[in-house]
Homo-oligomer: A and B are copies of this chain.
Amino acid sequence: MFELLKSDTSTKARLGKLNTAHGVVDTPVFMPVGTQASVKTLDPRELHEMGTQIILGNSYHLNIRPGLDILRAAGGLHRFMNWEKPILTDSGGYQVFSLAKIRKIKPHGVEFNSHVDGAPLFLGPKEAMEIQRVLGSDIAMVFDECPPYEAPAREQRHAVERTIRWARECREQPRAEGQQVFGIVQGGSNAALREECARALVAMDFDGYAIGGVSVGEPEPEMFKAIEMTEPFLPANKARYAMGLGTPAQLLELIARGVDLFDCVLPTRVARNGTAITRRGAFGLKGSAYKADFRPIEAGCDCFACTHFTRAYLRHLLNVNEILALRMLSIHNVHLFLKLMADVRAAIAAGMFADFYREFIANYVPSKKVLAARKAADNER
């Protein structure tokens, strides 16, 4: 289902094709996040125009609202939201452990209370796969346990044990027609746990492998390490997916470390706070510096926002709380991520990835948070 078309010679970057029930996805790829059956503020036409190949949906959220009965009656998630291209669904594991109030972890799943109305719910491998079967996603994720970065070693070990056991249960559940299932490697920043988890999952022969337990509060250097600890144990002929990541520069770093698939709420979330992401870093558009700046958000960008509106206009809209601004920034930011991946694919195909990567990282100014974490890591050495 995954075809490795080319491997970069000086980095671990890969060019590939992921064949799914709803079409082919060229990798490396960025997947816009549509948690609640909507990529926030955007409609399917806009997603198509930006070059979106595949989007994300979320089992935990969609199971609560609108609920499985409605999704079943609609004929699945693609039809419900009018999106004909591939969809990958998260299993809900991450949300159960991060959003819900957990009552009890049991052998076959988790008893918890809904974060919306407190209703008692149960989610485990069987339930997560049943939800994803009804959703009819092209790629379903196993139900895993994703502990926070600060979790002690004992908790990380238990999470890995449960993740492996639950992955096996997920593997045995019925699937929607043509649905692929990806395993998720946990293990935090512990190399031995990462290796153990990866080996156990690879032995189960999943259709692809995600690296989970990243973007859970760890500093950037730790995140890169977690990827480096895991990647060598993943088979070359299956897609690799780094969950919940990251900034444009981080995506380049992870592609260079052998990752193919990415998803992140970053471009849409920061858009709704008035932040534009460019190839040279992010900036807040609300500032008075832009009040009479009649340039587009990013010079040379051919997204709908940049070809129609100026910074001055969008800044005005942000400052008077006009919803159009949130959508236009979402379009620009998501378009940037998608276009960057297209450029990366072209660079790998042309054997120029190492140059592209070096130049991009040199030009990209990371956020203060990322810079502070890097400095802290340097000081520790």
Q: Which residues of chain B have C-beta atoms less than 8 A from A326's C-beta?
A: 323
Q: Which residues of chain B have C-beta atoms less than 8 A from A319's C-beta?
A: 65-66
Judging by beta carbons under 8 Å apart, are A324 and B38 in contact? yes
Chain A 313-339 residues near chain B, CB threshold 8 A: 313, 315-317, 319-320, 322-324, 326-328
**In the assembly, what is the distance between CA of A328 and CA of B46, in Å?**
13
**In the assembly, what is the distance between CA of A308 and CA of B74, in Å?**
14
User: A40 at interface (Cβ–Cβ under 8 A)?
Assistant: yes
Counted per complex, copies of this chain come to: 2
Q: Which residues of chain B have C-beta atoms less than 8 A from A304's C-beta?
A: 43, 45
**In the assembly, what is the distance between CA of A60 and CA of B326, in Å?**
24
Identity of the chain B residue whose Cβ is nearest the Cβ of A321 in the assembled complex: B36
Shortest CB distance A322–B (Å) = 4
Size bracket of the A interface: 35 or more
Indicate whether A313 sits within 8 Å of B41 (C-beta atoms), given known contacts A70-B291, A74-B294, A319-B65.
no
Shortest CB distance A158–B (Å) = 33
**In the assembly, what is the distance between CA of A309 and CA of B82, in Å?**
7
> Within the complex, which residue of B37, B80, B294, B320 is in contact with A36, where a contact is CB–CB below 8 Å?
B320
> Within the complex, which residue of B294, B316, B328 is in contact with A65, where a contact is CB–CB below 8 Å?
B316
**In the assembly, what is the distance between CA of A36 and CA of B41, in Å?**
20
User: A42 at interface (Cβ–Cβ under 8 A)?
Assistant: yes
Identity of the chain B residue whose Cβ is nearest the Cβ of A82 in the assembled complex: B308
Judging by beta carbons under 8 Å apart, are A323 and B73 in contact? no
Judging by beta carbons under 8 Å apart, are B36 and A312 in contact? no
**In the assembly, what is the distance between CA of A320 and CA of B66, in Å?**
9
Contact with B along A137-158 (1 / 0, CB 8 A): 0000000000000000000000
Q: Which residues of chain B have C-beta atoms less than 8 A from A65's C-beta?
A: 316, 319-320
Q: Which residues of chain B have C-beta atoms less than 8 A from A41's C-beta?
A: 323-324, 327
Q: Which residues of chain B have C-beta atoms less than 8 A from A69's C-beta?
A: 292
Judging by beta carbons under 8 Å apart, are A43 and B81 in contact? no
Indicate whether A66 sits within 8 Å of B316 (C-beta atoms), given known contacts A44-B308, A74-B310, A294-B73.
yes
**In the assembly, what is the distance between CA of A204 and CA of B74, in Å?**
62
Q: Which residues of chain B have C-beta atoms less than 8 A from A316's C-beta?
A: 36-37, 65-66, 70, 80
Judging by beta carbons under 8 Å apart, are B70 and A292 in contact? yes
Shortest CB distance A115–B (Å) = 12
Q: List 14 A-B contacts (CB under 8 A).
A: A36-B317, A42-B324, A43-B308, A61-B320, A66-B316, A66-B319, A70-B291, A70-B292, A74-B292, A80-B310, A80-B313, A81-B313, A82-B308, A82-B309
Nearest 3 A-B pairs (CB), nearest first? Answer: A66-B316, A38-B322, A36-B320
Residues of A participating in the B interface, judged by any CB pair closer than 8 Å: 36-38, 40-45, 61, 65-66, 69-70, 73-74, 80-82, 291-292, 294, 304, 308-310, 312-313, 315-317, 319-320, 322-324, 326-328
